[in-house]
Amino acid sequence: MNDFAVNRQTFDDVMVPVFSPAPFVPVRAAGSRVWDSEGREYIDFTGGIAVTALGHTHPELVRVLREQGETLWHVSNAYTNQPVLRLASRLEALTFAERAFFANSGAEANEAALKLARRAALERHGPEKIEIVSFSQSFHGRTLFTVSVGGQPKYAEGFGPVPAGIVHLPYNDIEAARGAIGTKTCAVIVEPIQGEGGVIPADPAFLRTLREACDTHGALLIFDEVQTGVGRTGHLYAYMDTGVTPDILTTAKALGNGFPIGAMLTTKAIAAHFKVGVHGTTYGGNPLGAAIADKVIELVSEPALLDGVKRRGAALTARLDAIGKRFGLFKEIRGKGLLIGAELVAAFEGQAKDFANAAARHGVMLLIAGPNVLRFAPSLIIDDADLEEGLARLEKAIEETVAAAADASAR
Ligand SMILES: *Cc1c(COP(=O)(O)O)cnc(C)c1O
């Protein structure tokens, strides 16, 4: 038996209060269904914030976890291991990349990317070329460097002094990018779709401008694909559908389907600026995480799976559009594949969380992206029946919330 009886209240008693978790406690899951400690069942439209791309307890991944767990978990980076070499080989066969560095999270992958960009600029151009260009509303993680580079000032406030040499520009503003990227710029970091910032896709012409400006000024273009990567948009990586190839790509979240692993991918020439000892990690590239990620990439890179993401994304968008029209609820539905944001009309401004809470009461786990956007990031292989059932429950939750708001304003 367990030594401690725990429930949601225990969180407030024992945890550092940086999160405000839902009132229920998930205890078990399979595919796109999750059960809480009271036995209530939920359809998961969150995928653990775009993490469990292959759903929960995927049999192939459980098998790899078990087999590798009974074989070799950890040997430190004083030794290499077969799973990490297979994973790097697979990622490099499928992308522009020629070299990989493994970490344990998205923030750490970005930290490596930003440090590498600074080091490469120093060695290639000298000590003046330090500026990192980033965009408003962007999110790159929670280390001090990544909150400083991220475009949401609230995450960096109160932690100063923050690293210097970081410039924030408006996202999708071609003129601003042309004007600001120059001889001092060492790197530009951009999400092909801003996830946390509200599910805002980059304009392809904007990404092309960034590529051109980086080439003109010898700066490195970093794509943060921590959220958009690993099949989420219907492509293995979102860059593949933009006509723009980055110099460095970061990936995490779905890479391990929930087992913590992140990676920084780059070219051989750029990787050469990280020499033995200049960067490192204890757990990064451990055989257990690498074996799981290798299986994830093998499964997600299947063309049939990626086609399924596009098909499900189109179906989800069409149903959301119909629901939105019925209640006059959505100003815009946007995104790509199965990363979809539905922005509330002005009448419901600031109420995204109310809709997510109502969805939970009706048995649907739903994300928000800021106060005005409902965010959908379900499993890439969610069953049609689960998708339909989840949408039916969500529609009821929306009906109830809209009616409650109408009652409140009539009173
Ligand atoms: C989630 C996210 C991160 C941070 O990843 P962690 O694993 O939480 O450190 C970085 N960039 C983007 C785009 C993300 O969505």
pLDDT-derived band at 409, boundaries 50, 70, 90: confident
The reply to whether ligand 1 has any atom less than 6 angstroms from the CB of 140 is: yes
The reply to whether ligand 1 has any atom less than 6 angstroms from the CB of 107 is: yes
- Rounded Cα distance between 77 and 84, Å, is 11
Nearest protein Cα to ligand 1, atom 6: 106
Please report, in angstroms and rounded to a whole number, the separation of the first and last CA atoms in the chain.
52
Q: What is the pLDDT at residue 134?
A: 98
- Rounded Cα distance between 147 and 129, Å, is 21
Q: What is the pLDDT of residues 112-144, one digit of tens each?
A: 999 999 999 999 999 999 999 999 999 999 999
Q: What is the pLDDT at residue 59?
A: 98
Q: What is the pLDDT at residue 2?
A: 77
The reply to whether ligand 1 has any atom less than 6 angstroms from the CB of 104 is: no
Q: What is the pLDDT at residue 408?
A: 87
Which atom of ligand 1 is found nearest the CA of 194?
A: 13
> What would the mean pLDDT of 173-182 be, rounded to a whole number?
98
Q: What is the pLDDT of residues 210-227, one digit of tens each?
A: 999 999 999 999 999 999
- Its pTM stands at 0.98
pLDDT score of 394 more than 90: yes
Q: What is the pLDDT of residues 36-53, one digit of tens each?
A: 999 999 999 999 999 999
> What would the mean pLDDT of 17-31 be, rounded to a whole number?
97
Which atom of ligand 1 is found nearest the CA of 105?
A: 7
Q: What is the pLDDT at residue 239?
A: 98
What residues contact residue 271 under an 8 Å CB cut-off, 6+ apart? 98, 99, 101, 116
Name 333's bridge partners: 342
**Distance between Cα 113 and ligand 1 center (Å):** 13
Nearest protein Cα to ligand 1, atom 15: 227
The overall average pLDDT reported for the chain is: 97
> What would the mean pLDDT of 178-191 be, rounded to a whole number?
98
CA distances from 22 to 26, 367, 373, 404, 409 (A): 10, 11, 18, 21, 27
What is the token pair recorded at 186? 């060492």
Q: Of how many residues is the chain composed?
A: 411
> What would the mean pLDDT of 256-284 be, rounded to a whole number?
98
Decide: 134 and 213 in contact? Cβ < 8 Å: no
Cα R_g (the chain), whole angstroms = 22
What DSSP string runs through 221-252?
EEEE-TTTTTTTTSSSSGGGGTT---SEEEE-
Secondary structure (3-state) at 266: strand
> What would the mean pLDDT of 159-182 be, rounded to a whole number?
98
Q: What is the pLDDT of residues 234-254, one digit of tens each?
A: 999 999 999 999 999 999 999
What is the token pair recorded at 95? 């992308």
- Which residue ranges make up each domain of the chain? 8-58+303-410, 72-300
pLDDT-derived band at 204, boundaries 50, 70, 90: very high
pLDDT score of 58 more than 60: yes
pLDDT score of 176 more than 80: yes
- Rounded Cα distance between 352 and 350, Å, is 6
Kindly report the CATH class assigned to 72-300: alpha beta
**Distance between Cα 301 and ligand 1 center (Å):** 21
Q: Which one of 196, 251, 368 would you pick to mutate in the ligand 1 pocket, going by the greatest count of ligand atoms within 8 A of its CB? A: 196
Q: What is the pLDDT at residue 334?
A: 98
Q: Which one of 51, 104, 140, 283 would you pick to mutate in the ligand 1 pocket, going by the greatest count of ligand atoms within 8 A of its CB? A: 140
Q: What is the pLDDT at residue 1?
A: 57
**Distance between Cα 53 and ligand 1 center (Å):** 15
Q: 8-58+303-410: what fold?
A: Aspartate Aminotransferase, domain 1 (3.90.1150)
- Cβ-based neighbour number of residue 91 at 10 Å: 23
pLDDT-derived band at 405, boundaries 50, 70, 90: confident
The reply to whether ligand 1 has any atom less than 6 angstroms from the CB of 339 is: no
The reply to whether ligand 1 has any atom less than 6 angstroms from the CB of 259 is: no
